[in-house]
Structure 1
Amino acid sequence: MQCQISDPSQLVLLERYNDGVAVLTVNNPPLNLFTLAMTRAFDWRLREIAVDPGIRAVVLTGSGTKAFGAGSDIKEFKEMFESGQVIDRKLRYENEVFTRLEDLPQPTVAAIRGVALGGGLELALCCDLRVAGQSSRLGLPEVKLGVFPGSGGLVRLPKIIGETRAKELMYLGEPISAEQALTWGLLNKVVPDEDVLGTAMSLAAELAKRPAVAIRVMKKGIREARVLGREAAIEATYPLSETVFASNDIKEGVAAFFAKRPPEFKHS
């Protein structure tokens, strides 16, 4: 794959590859802590990705191998807390941006190298799929500071791994191993540490080959099903089906099936 780096900001890097994959890197090593400036840069990159038709799958990772993300910069958090600005300056905006990641039309894969703690894990929860290294540890330790996962973890984690396990992870605040996270359904794959990014990129490349219209409507339908009742969620799939049936990809998919050849999707 050939790579072209898009004028990266200092905090969040965006690399586009010629197979439709983009790699988004949180670049605040060694722990890739989230600051207000980082959130702004991340927001800008997400808006850029959302409107780029050349990007059909996204890999999210952290700079270096020590941490995917170790949460918030505690010094900055302390300053906001002491000035009574945590909710308005940090949490509201951070939740808005994390939700923007979750709502990207493209499928997303988190490539977790090192630890994913606090806001770092909350960020990974916004991705569709998650790949981690064998030595990775994941957790939400906020309770040890007397707070809770306020950037969406409280809402998203129980939906991914169930309430009982989510309560254990959040109430105790102790990190778990990658293998345990895989068993709990928090991860899709656990691979040798040195293979994390390559595995995530290969997975994203496969996703980018799938018909983009179908991927988008499935992602939207799954998201809507979380907030709608069963009947309303099923009803909401019909407009999504209309979108798929009007696409060129379904015509190519059916034609390729009967011709017994691989489909050549145009993602339209």
Structure 2
Amino acid sequence: MLDVPKSADKSYADGKILQSVAEGVGTVTFNNPDKRNAMSLDMWEGLGAALIELRDDPEVRVVILTGAGDKAFMSGADISQFEKNRHNAQASEEYGKRSDAQRALLADYPKPTIACIRGFCLGGGMQIAMLADIRIAAENSQFGIPAAKLGIAYGYEGLNHLVSLVGPSWARLLLYTGMRIDSAEALRIGLVDRVVPDTELWNATSDIARTISGNAPLAIQAAKITIAQVLKDPDKRDMKAIKAIGTACMDSDDFREGRRAFMDKRKPRFTGR
């Protein structure tokens, strides 16, 4: 079994979204294992509530997204809700507005995010994983987008992220066929960043998260802001934002603490100020 946090500080969506915090690391767990963590609309909204709380908690410096059980990170949308919530274009548009708000929240999240992926990562699960800053996968993971097998269109934002990670040819192959690929293939094409043995997934992800949590928050924020601007078209880049966060870093207590710690040959104690 995947060694995720045994208890939650808070829960949302009738317990299908769990949230916990430890050592500066927030964890959000998709907790619908009977359906391989398929996302209902209530779960999307619960995810948003959990992310907002962790975003606004000054003690949290990085957020891990993971799935409960050992079968799936997230197997996509809960298809049993399609007849009620996505049975035609108008209903799908309303569903999309409510779930898109949570994806937009994650896309613009100010803190580093890590997707800890084991088992199935399909459809909407791929969207969530691709929105994370870093993707760590277990060897048993499987990835795919079955939109063509369901007769639905995979949205622009999801495809934009997919193309940016794997390129247009692999995006076409995945979308046209609805095929699944294993974690080794996902690593080879750039869909995930690291693959580890199944039993080591949580510890490997936690180690990365704790390392990030121990670094200077403003410096990490600067990296996140700058990389996001690099990915934009040149005429849409916010160079003022890059300059502002750079100035904030150089004027920060953390920069002074980093220098002193280096000279004193000790571990720095960063405060994010």
- TM-score in same-fold range (> 0.5): yes
Picking from 87, 90, 109, the partner of 2:92 is 87
Conserved 8 A contact 1:102-1:128: no
Conserved 8 A contact 1:119-1:151: no
Q: Secondary structure at the residue paired with 2:19? A: strand
CA apart distance, 1:148: 2.6
Once residues 86 and 223 of structure 2 are traced to their aligned partners in structure 1, the CA distance between those partners, rounded to angstroms, is 40
Change (3 A) 1:232 1:16: closer
Alignment of 1:1-268 (within 5 A): 5-9=8-12, 10-17=15-22, 19-30=23-34, 31-82=36-87, 84-150=89-155, 152-229=157-234, 232-234=237-239, 236-268=241-273
Conserved 8 A contact 1:91-1:150: no
Once residues 226 and 65 of structure 1 are traced to their aligned partners in structure 2, the CA distance between those partners, rounded to angstroms, is 34
CA apart distance, 1:11: 1.5
Spell out, residue by residue over 1:73-107, the C-alpha distance to the aligned partner (whole angstroms, 9 max, x if none): 11212323335444332212212201211222211
256-265 vs 226-235, which moves further? 226-235
Match of 1:21, as an amino acid? Answer: V
Q: Secondary structure at the residue paired with 1:131? A: strand
Q: Secondary structure at the residue paired with 1:14? A: strand
Q: Secondary structure at the residue paired with 1:34? A: coil
Spell out, residue by residue over 1:131-155, the C-alpha distance to the aligned partner (whole angstroms, 9 max, x if none): 1111111111111122232283212
Q: Secondary structure at the residue paired with 1:130? A: strand
Match of 2:8, as an amino acid? Answer: I
Match of 1:25, as an amino acid? Answer: T
CA apart distance, 1:252: 1.4
Match of 1:87, as an amino acid? Answer: S
Match of 1:196, as an amino acid? Answer: L
TM-score, length-normalised on structure 1?
A: 0.91
Match of 1:102, as an amino acid? Answer: A
Q: Which runs of 5+ in 1 are unaligned?
A: none
Q: Which runs of 5+ in 2 are unaligned?
A: none
CA apart distance, 1:40: 1.1
CA apart distance, 1:245: 1.6
Q: Secondary structure at the residue paired with 2:33? A: coil
Q: How many residues align?
A: 266
Change (3 A) 1:64 1:119: same
Match of 1:26, as an amino acid? Answer: F
Q: Secondary structure at the residue paired with 1:262? A: coil
Root-mean-square deviation (CA, aligned residues, Å) is 2.1
Conserved 8 A contact 2:225-2:242: no
CA apart distance, 1:178: 0.1
Once residues 236 and 39 of structure 2 are traced to their aligned partners in structure 1, the CA distance between those partners, rounded to angstroms, is 39
Conserved 8 A contact 1:137-1:175: yes
Q: Percent identity?
A: 32
Change (3 A) 1:231 1:104: closer
Once residues 265 and 156 of structure 1 are traced to their aligned partners in structure 2, the CA distance between those partners, rounded to angstroms, is 32
TM-score, length-normalised on structure 2?
A: 0.90
Spell out, residue by residue over 1:5-45, the C-alpha distance to the aligned partner (whole angstroms, 9 max, x if none): 3232211111110x201111011113111111111111111
Match of 2:194, as an amino acid? Answer: K
Change (3 A) 1:4 1:255: farther
